[in-house]
Structure 1
């Protein structure tokens, strides 16, 4: 990404809080472009397509991470998924924003922190 290009973002999780983040990314964050969304719920993906114009939609998080156009992923998923999804995103070479909390397990938090420090 150059200093004048847009940050291409994919979001995982389109529930109550995920919708807020998606709307902000799509409409209010300068130089951000919401290009992909992921949810196992078809109605949420339809909303992203119809209301936000997101063209790349995924039911499987691994497929989202495989989208080579992404610069970063936003995780707005259940807390129990955060640590593993962060690890998967980092290993896929993505920058990550994760809604709090990172995890309810201190060992998971430390594992994620150690991996993030290497990236």
Structure 2
């Protein structure tokens, strides 16, 4: 593993969370149905990516309640208020000036906050 700050964390439906450096690598795990992206909150420098069809193809993309809980924790809302998440979820540092993949390394503070949220959601972090 490199000593550079990770760009993303991938949260799988089984609760395994994995840090990584190349956003395109993580997006390969989102499935063949396209990738949808959204900001964690208005004005956030963190973005979420998941399959475009995860909420429609329920037989292919299993629920991911741990991701929903972690994202809710980071967004400052209760898990009960979190939108449904299905399939693998990628949370990444967003840089609108990066024309290649819009990613940036996560800051030390962001990594600490994300780790706290993943732990609160019961994820296993690798």
What is the TM-score normalised by the length of structure 2? 0.31
Q: Comparing both chains, which one has the higher relative contact order based on Cα–Cα distances under 8 Å and sequence gaps of 6 or more?
A: 2
Higher helix share: 1
TM-score by length of 1: 0.32
